[in-house]
Structure 1
Amino acid sequence: MSVGLVNIRPDIKSPVVGADATNEVVPIANFTYYLSEHFALNTAAGITRHEFSNAGGILGKASMAPFHLMAQYHFMPKADFRPYVGVGIHHTVFFKQSGPAFNGLEDFKADTGAVLQAGFSYTLNKDYFVNFDVKKFYLETNVTPQGGAKIETITLNPWLIGLAVGKQF
């Protein structure tokens, strides 16, 4: 188990609305279960809130809770420096939409997609380690006015860059 901070950097494609979103740094808790020396399952818990804007100004804010499960391969499990890669799936839920433009929209729909990961752990001593990882989430949602037709599908595809300190059990 580890706790730390993650920098969430949306990589938005919004050709119609021209939306962009703030980068955010939030606390995160990671849980990794080793199936063998090389293979592990990983999940994390964290919630983020981003402000969305375009050339016309602030559109609104929305919170996101990404639930994900990663299958990881650890290359050098007995070394102090242990690089790994992972692939997995996420289900991201949007909530607490608010703001000038968001108040007139249907709630953003939850999305399920792929996640890629690369990182490393470094052993500090027999009990503690430091972990650094980068994840790429593939995430999109629709922009739909209340009672209207879909305007566009926004691709968010955030990068998550995390640093954590953990305890080995």
Structure 2
Amino acid sequence: MISCIAGRGRAAAVGAAALVFAGVLGTPAAQAHEAGDWIVKGGVSLVKPKSGNGSVLDGTVGLDVNNNARPSVTLTYMATHHVGVELLAAMPFRHDIRGSGLGTIGSTRHLPPTLSLQWHFLPDSRIQPYVGVGLNYTTFFSTRASGALAGQDLSLRDSWGVAGQVGVDVKLDERWMLSADVRYIDISSKVRLNGEDIGKARVDPWVFTAAVGYRF
């Protein structure tokens, strides 16, 4: 009797899980992304530069750029049922710059607006994965020297580069959704000290974003 009840309990649990899974993957037309939709998402993005961020002074000083997280927003226009065009914007990110053997030698702020063309694989599903490729422009400002370079004029040139993206939207209802994505952005900047080029900073970050979205 006990084993029979346990067996029925397991069957009920499996059945409930199957219903939940089917519901998540259901395809209610009211929740589909459609051509002409606009989707705005607000959340937080973490910029995590790759390990080893270039060098200066003829390669004698390696650079290391730290992580930083800031509020971010994206605006997507669905050109077709599957194709979206997305613009990423954020509050300025701030990074400390360390030089090998020198400690912190400066800091900078940057804005990385990125325009991407996306492909949405399952636009009718409640779980909607997508990939994107696009163009990034990063402008650096408020760059300041410190530590061993204190009192000198340190600057970073603006950067153009490609960006790749993988993400997913999870629809909560007809309008609202949760979203997460990861991008790789090619950011490479010439480093100048007192007006002279002294090397290159290769930031090349992974950018992780979690957001809440609204479709209208």
Tell me whether the two structures share a fold, i.e. TM-score over 0.5: yes
Q: Which amino acid aligns with 1:30?
A: T
Q: Percent identity at matched positions?
A: 27
Q: 1:42 to 1:53 in 2, by over 3 A?
A: same
Alignment of 1:51 with 2:51, yes or no, is: no
Asked if 1:168 corresponds to 2:215, the answer is yes
**CA distances 1:47-86 after superposition (whole Å, capped 9, x unpaired):** 2011111332111110001121000000000001111000
Q: Which residue among 96, 120, 125 is the counterpart of 1:79?
A: 125
Q: Does 1:122 align with 2:166?
A: no
Q: State how far apart, in whole Å, the 2-side matches of 1:13 and 1:104 are.
A: 21
Residues 1:144 and 1:126: Cα distance change in structure 2 (over 3 Å) = same
Please state if 1:21 is matched with 2:68: no
Runs (4+) of structure 1 exceeding 2 A deviation are 101-107
CA distance in 2, matches of 1:103, 1:63: 18
Count of aligned residue pairs for this structure pair = 168
Counterpart-to-counterpart distance in 2, 1:164 and 1:119: 11
Equivalent position SS for 2:53: coil
Q: Aligned-pair distance for 1:106? A: 4.8
- Asked if residue 157 in structure 1 is aligned to residue 204 in structure 2, the reply is yes
Q: Measure the CA separation in 1 of the matches of 2:65 and 2:202.
A: 11
Q: Separation in 2 of the partners of 1:75 and 1:43?
A: 19
Contact conserved, 1:20 with 1:52, CA < 8 A, in 2? yes
Aligned-partner SS, 1:144:
strand
**Structure 1 equivalent of residue 17 of structure 2:** none
Greater strand share, structure number = 1
Equivalences for 1:129-148 in 2 at 5 Å? 129-148=177-196
Q: Report deviation, 1:143.
A: 1.7
Contact 1:2-1:30 at 8 Å conserved across structures: yes
**Aligned-partner SS, 1:82:** strand
Secondary structure of the structure 1 residue equivalent to 2:98? strand
* Secondary structure of residue in 1 paired with 2:113: strand
Structure 1 residue aligned with 2:35: none
For 1:42, the equivalent position in structure 2 comes to 86
C-alpha change, 1:103 and 1:155, in structure 2 (3 Å) is farther
Between 1:7-16 and 1:88-97, the stretch displaced more is 7-16
Output one character per residue of 1:92-112: Cα deviation in whole Å (capped at 9) or x when no partner: 100001131375245211111
**2:156 counterpart SS class:** coil
Picking from 151, 155, 160, the partner of 1:112 is: 160
C-alpha deviation, 1:45, in angstroms: 1.2
Structure 2 segments unaligned to the other structure (5+ residues):
1-39
Normalising by structure 1, report the TM-score.
Answer: 0.94
